[in-house]
Structure 1
Amino acid sequence: MPNPPVPPTGVPVLVLNGPNLSLLGLREPEVYGTHTLADVDELCRSTAAAHGLRADCRQSNHEGVLIDAIHEARTAHRGIVINPAGYSHTSVAVRDALAAVELPVVEVHLSNIHRREAFRHHSHVSAVADTVICGAGAHGYALALTHLAQLLEDNR
């Protein structure tokens, strides 16, 4: 008789990726790097586990799906790492959802949005994020999860 599945362990945190991040590794690798979203998810899971966290990694190209995930996080997760991608610059609704759930939030961007086109310099999410990490490529997710673990530890 097979063993039943072992339930995941660790403090649950949401890692949420916005539009077009499903194309990582293919779309503008000179800007976003060559790591795929699967690579990023694996990095997030291993980094989270090293800090006693369990990363629930999700991606959507749809604003409402992202907002629903943020609302769900209010009761299912202890913190959020989010790369809102293009919604950083356009979505007050994503910003408001993050503010409403009252969880620690770390915003992450693969590229340095401040060295790019002027319209990318402003992020609505930054105003409600505890921390913003940009320009570190895929490693930025590891930095974000390490910092989120520290925020959770400090708030115990």
Structure 2
Amino acid sequence: MSNTHTLYLRRKYGEKGTNGTITFKGEHICHTIELPWRNNLQRLSCIPEGRYKLQKTKYYKHGEQIGIPAVLGREAILVHAANHAMEELHGCIAPVTTLTGEGTGDDSRKALDKLKALVYSLWDMEAEVFLVIRGQGLETRG
């Protein structure tokens, strides 16, 4: 039996931001906000859809975070707290408790703590953790 676990992020794309929902084994974990899709432009776009291996990453600014290292043409992609994509994100993914608009949400720190608790518990069991990102319905990007 391979020790891998997959979280799913379903996205809805908008002009002012990308909203999503992360689930694990069919269970809702949190909502997410990201920048709008802008052809994977560094610091201006959300990352392309796909399957990404998550890894523990230490950054001076954010401390230890969930990192998404293998994004084509991008670096330093993290999952970190933010409540307004256009003001606070440069391509990263921010968990939020409630979506309040396109690319905006609230209680991000609380949602991040919940997501980190799940991912870190899987890592503690020596598991590899993946994030699969997909659009809702027919629209896909990347």
TM-score between both structures, scaled by the size of structure 2: 0.26
**Bigger radius of gyration, 1 or 2?**
1
Could you say which structure has the higher helix fraction? 1
Give TM-score scaled by structure 1 length.
0.25
